[in-house]
Amino acid sequence: MARIRIRNEWLERHQFTLRILCAGVVGLLLLVTVAIRLFYLQVVNHSRYVVLAENNRLREEPVTPPRGLIYDRNGVLLAENRPSYELVIVPEQVPDMQTTIAALGKIVNIEPDDIKRFDSLLATRRPFQPLPLRTELSAAEVARFAADRQDFPGVDIRATLSRYYPLGAAAAQAVGYVGMVSTSELAKLDPAQYTSTSEVGKVGVEAFYERLLHGSVGTREVETDAQGRPVRVVSYTPPVPGSDLYLSIDMRLQEVAEKALGDNSGAVVAINPQNGEVLALVSTPSYDPNPFVDGISQEKYAALSNDPNQPLFNRVLRGQYPPGSTLKPFVALAALNYHIVNPLKKVYGPAVFYIPGSRRPYRNWDPAGCGQVDLAEAIMVSCDTYFYSLGLQLGINDMHRYLVDFGFGQPTGIDLPHENTGLIPSPAWKRRMDGHAWYLGNTAITAIGQGFVLVTPLQLASATATLSMQGKRYAPRIVMAVKNPLTGALKPLPPHPLPSPPEADSGAWKLIVHSMREVVANPAGTAHAISYGAKFSIAAKTGTAQVVAAPRGLHGEGPEMDLPKKLRDNAMFIAFAPVDHPRIAVAVVVEHGGYGAATAAPIARKVLDAYLLHTAGGDVAGP
């Protein structure tokens, strides 16, 4: 039985009013909740969200400074930044990456290595950033791509700057090269400066002057949208370009020296004695530095480092050779300095010298002996037996001290990295090395530049320059001027004087210089052959240094040139000219060249001629 319900209009209205009020109040409370939430976001946490919004909006991008250029002293360009073309792909604009890369491979050469590198970039970079697929496109490749560009949406060619050495191998040993920054290098560099730089100096001037050449990175603050695309530049701090460097190298001289060395492995260093500027720095064979710039391939590198002639080895800085007889003038100076010899007293130079109380023979290079010679004549004819005796009178300790004061056995302080020290032996050193005592025989052969003593060609040239200046000593320098990147002003780097060797009286210097002049001028001198046609006076000293312990009796017996080249001695030669006002000092090393007089001396003569007769060797001719 259904209950009959009767509508109560008033009750229904009342009920409805209550419900409406109820809904209104709940609605109001909920809107107030939203308002409280807004207050929390916009007032309480406002500053936090401002930071988050700014981080969203602004991005700092580094602006790479152009690397400083390198010139020779006459303004010949040695290292430049060349626009290079790379093939870049914007992933998000490419419909199908696989097909695109395959099609591109028919137009430009794409190695598996390129694809591997590209894939790793693809995984880490954002899809709107252009990623390089190939660098260093050839002109033909650029042209081929340009013709078919419309077939490749999202693919483009981008110009960048990349280091280029226009003279290739000619200046490589001095200039060095740049290469990709490695992670271990990055740890030593200022990371802020290298965020956008991929190249860093590895060897040579490029490495030593990295900070000057690099310049200072600029920044561009860009506003980006949510996809990270730059919308506009908010602020811009321009980079400070790297400084241009002017080397003291004279490329004409460098090329003459290189040509004179020919196919020989060896080194030529020429220094201006007046200020220590390095005029030529040649190490042969050399190498083309350009492949190193974008990362040299494995095979190419292996070929260079396995080459028996060691083209990557910088002989000038790192080659350590027994100086042979080229050390004699310096030993003679030591003896004069310590007053242990009367230079004018004639002494008999036998064919064989015996240390008193010993039966071991120490031979003269000329089996005929030297006859009666004074100190100057002993240098002129390079009398070994005279110097064995002199060395014993001088003693190893004074000899060691004096040679070190001359700059041997330590880095010269040139503005190039990786310099070797050479070695001037001493009893203390020998005890440290092999625990054995120093014998008088060691002293004797040290006096003629054999045995343990080792010098670098650079040390030899630098010491020759000091000798030519009668003790005035400068550290060798290879960079002579730096161009301010902002003002364009050229700032010459001042010479870097070093303490002179102990003051022998000026008569001693004159005597040694005279004796070296006689080496060339006197028909009996060992380098008389190079005097013919010389338009200036030359002072020089020859040297022939044993490389391997050749079978007894080989040395000085019969013409060396008959020996297999590997067993031949190193030919050494030092010279400076003009004698009275020296403008150039040279050291020449020809590995396995045999007699210094025969092989190395003519090379030195060519260098002296080239410098003193055909060049001014003057000021920086740069812009």
Q: Which is nearer to other proteins, 18 or 428 (CB)?
A: 18
Q: Is position 389 annotated as part of the catalytic site? A: no
Q: Which is nearer to other proteins, 17 or 309 (CB)?
A: 17
Q: Which of 1, 7, 95, 564 binds other proteins (CB under 8 A)?
A: 7
Distances in Å between the Cα of 444 and the Cα atoms of 150, 448, 489 are: 80, 7, 54
- CA 192, CA 196: separation in Å to the nearest integer? 9
When asked if residue 43 is in the footprint of other proteins (CB under 8 A), the reply is yes
Contacts of residue 171, defined as CB under 8 A and 6 or more positions apart, other chains included, come to 72, 78, 165, 249, 251, 254
- CA 329, CA 343: separation in Å to the nearest integer? 12
When asked if residue 37 is in the footprint of other proteins (CB under 8 A), the reply is yes
Give the DSSP per-residue string, 157-219.
EEEEEEEE-TTGGGGHHHH-EEEEPPHHHHHHS-TTTTSS--EEEEEHHHHHTHHHHH-B-EE
Q: Which is nearer to other proteins, 5 or 552 (CB)?
A: 5
Contacts of residue 616, defined as CB under 8 A and 6 or more positions apart, other chains included, come to none
Angle at 596 between CA 603 and CA 247, to 5 degrees: 40
Token pair listed for 51: 């930071």
Burial 340-359, CB ≥16 within 10 A → b, else e: ebebeeebebbbebebeeee
Supply the minimum distance, in Å, between the C-beta of residue 168 and other proteins.
50
Q: Which of 123, 139, 140, 226 binds other proteins (CB under 8 A)?
A: 226
184 to 223: interface string for other proteins, x by CB under 8 A: ---------------------------------------x
Which strand (E) or helix (H) includes residue 98? helix 97-104
Catalytic member of 283, 325, 426, 531: 325
When asked if residue 39 is in the footprint of other proteins (CB under 8 A), the reply is yes
56 to 95: interface string for other proteins, x by CB under 8 A: xx--------------------------------------
Supply the minimum distance, in Å, between the C-beta of residue 1 and other proteins.
15
Q: Which of 1, 6, 139, 344 binds other proteins (CB under 8 A)?
A: 6
Q: Which is nearer to other proteins, 19 or 259 (CB)?
A: 19
When asked if residue 234 is in the footprint of other proteins (CB under 8 A), the reply is no
Pairing state of beta strands 244-247 and 70-71? parallel
- CA 573, CA 589: separation in Å to the nearest integer? 7
Supply the minimum distance, in Å, between the C-beta of residue 51 and other proteins.
9
**Please, is 450 exposed, middle or buried when counting C-beta atoms within 10 Å of its C-beta (0-12, 13-18, 19+)?**
buried
Question: What is the residue type of 352?
Answer: V
508 to 547: interface string for other proteins, x by CB under 8 A: ----------------------------------------
When asked if residue 231 is in the footprint of other proteins (CB under 8 A), the reply is yes
Which strand (E) or helix (H) includes residue 577? strand 570-577
Contacting range for other proteins; rule: CB under 8 A; set: 24-32, 98-106, 236-244, 388-396 = 24-32
When asked if residue 17 is in the footprint of other proteins (CB under 8 A), the reply is yes
When asked if residue 166 is in the footprint of other proteins (CB under 8 A), the reply is no
Q: Which is nearer to other proteins, 42 or 358 (CB)?
A: 42
Q: Which is nearer to other proteins, 27 or 153 (CB)?
A: 27
- CA 64, CA 220: separation in Å to the nearest integer? 10
Q: Which of 183, 227, 298, 487 binds other proteins (CB under 8 A)?
A: 227
How many CA atoms are closer than 13 Å to the CA of 420, on its beta-carbon side?
18
Contacting range for other proteins; rule: CB under 8 A; set: 34-42, 469-477, 532-540, 581-589 = 34-42
The neighbouring-strand residues paired with 86 are 158
When asked if residue 42 is in the footprint of other proteins (CB under 8 A), the reply is yes
When asked if residue 125 is in the footprint of other proteins (CB under 8 A), the reply is no
Could you tell me how many residues of this chain bind other proteins (CB under 8 A)? 41
When asked if residue 15 is in the footprint of other proteins (CB under 8 A), the reply is yes
Q: Which is nearer to other proteins, 231 or 233 (CB)?
A: 231
- CA 292, CA 272: separation in Å to the nearest integer? 31
- CA 485, CA 253: separation in Å to the nearest integer? 28
When asked if residue 48 is in the footprint of other proteins (CB under 8 A), the reply is yes
When asked if residue 354 is in the footprint of other proteins (CB under 8 A), the reply is no
**Please, is 313 exposed, middle or buried when counting C-beta atoms within 10 Å of its C-beta (0-12, 13-18, 19+)?**
middle
The residues assigned a catalytic role are 325
Binding site for other proteins (CB under 8 A): 5-8, 12, 15-17, 19-20, 23-24, 27-28, 30-31, 33-35, 37-39, 41-43, 45-46, 48-50, 52-54, 56-57, 223-227, 231
